[in-house]
Amino acid sequence: MTSTTATPRKRLFIRTWGCQMNVYDSARMADVLAPIGYAPAETPEGADMVILNTCHIREKATEKLFSELGRLREAKQARRAEGGEMVLAVAGCVAQAEGAEITARAPWVDIVLGPQTYHKLPEMVARASRAAGAVIETDFPAEDKFDHLPDAAAPQGVTAFLTVQEGCDKFCSFCVVPYTRGAEFSRPVAGVLAEARRLVAAGAREVTLLGQNVNAYHGEGPEGRSWGLGRLLRALAEIPGLARLRYTTSHPRDVDDDLIAAHRDLPQLMPFLHLPVQSGSDRVLQAMNRGHTAADFLRIVDRLREARPDLALSSDFIAGHPGETAADFEQTMDLVRRVGFAQAFSFKYSARPGTPAAGAPFQVAEADKDARLQALQALLREQQDAFNRSRVGMTFPVLFTGPGRHPGQVAGRSPWLQPVHLTGPLSLIGTEAPVTVLAAHPNSLSGLLAAGDAPYDVQPEEEPAPA
Residue numbers at the binding site for ligand SF4 (CB under 6 A): 168, 170-172, 175, 177-178, 212-213, 251
Is the four-CA dihedral 231, 183, 22, 91 of positive or negative sign?
positive
Nearest CA-CA partner of 277 in 332, 321, 209: 332
Smallest distance, Å, CB 281 to ligand 5AD? 15
Rounded CA-CA distance 357/370 in Å is: 18
Give whichever of 230 and 252 is closer to ligand 5AD, judged by the CB atom.
Answer: 252
Smallest distance, Å, CB 313 to ligand SF4? 17
Give whichever of 352 and 413 is closer to ligand 5AD, judged by the CB atom.
Answer: 352
Q: Cβ of 36: how many Cβ atoms within 10 Å?
A: 14
Give whichever of 215 and 446 is closer to ligand 5AD, judged by the CB atom.
Answer: 215
**Which of ligand 5AD, ligand SF4, none sits in contact with 315, Cβ below 5 to 8 A by type?**
none
Residues sharing a CB contact under 8 Å with residue 69, sequence separation 6 or more, in sequence order: 52, 88, 90, 102, 106, 108, 109
Sheet holding 49-54, edge to edge: 38-40, 10-16, 49-54, 87-92, 111-113, 135-137
Give whichever of 325 and 350 is closer to ligand 5AD, judged by the CB atom.
Answer: 350
Number of residues written out for the chain: 467
Our finding on whether 318 is near ligand 5AD (CB under 6 A) is: yes
Containing 359, the helix (H) or strand (E) segment is none
Smallest distance, Å, CB 182 to ligand SF4? 11
| 168 assigned ligand-binding residue | yes
Containing 54, the helix (H) or strand (E) segment is strand 49-54
**Which of ligand SF4, ligand 5AD, none sits in contact with 350, Cβ below 5 to 8 A by type?**
ligand 5AD
| 93 assigned ligand-binding residue | yes
Contact region with ligand 5AD (CB under 6 A), list: 48-56, 109-117, 143-151, 345-353: 345-353
Our finding on whether 349 is near ligand 5AD (CB under 6 A) is: yes
**CB-count exposure of residue 175 (10 Å: 0-12, 13-18, 19+):** buried
Our finding on whether 282 is near ligand 5AD (CB under 6 A) is: no
Q: Which of 17, 146, 347, 416 binds ligand 5AD (CB under 6 A)?
A: 347
> How far is C-alpha 336 from the chain's CA centre?
23
**Which of ligand SF4, ligand 5AD, none sits in contact with 274, Cβ below 5 to 8 A by type?**
none
Our finding on whether 341 is near ligand 5AD (CB under 6 A) is: no
Smallest distance, Å, CB 325 to ligand 5AD? 18
**Which of ligand SF4, ligand 5AD, none sits in contact with 347, Cβ below 5 to 8 A by type?**
ligand 5AD
Distances (CA, A) of 446 to 272, 404, 430: 19, 11, 18
Q: Strand (E) positions, 211-276?
A: 219-220, 226-227, 244-248, 272-274
> How far is C-alpha 357 from the chain's CA centre?
24
Give whichever of 26 and 213 is closer to ligand SF4, judged by the CB atom.
Answer: 213
Rounded CA-CA distance 387/88 in Å is: 44
Q: Which residues are annotated as a binding site for [4Fe-4S] cluster?
A: 19, 55, 93, 168, 172, 175
- Residues at the interface with ligand 5AD (CB under 6 A): 57-58, 174-175, 276, 278, 316, 318, 347, 349-350, 352
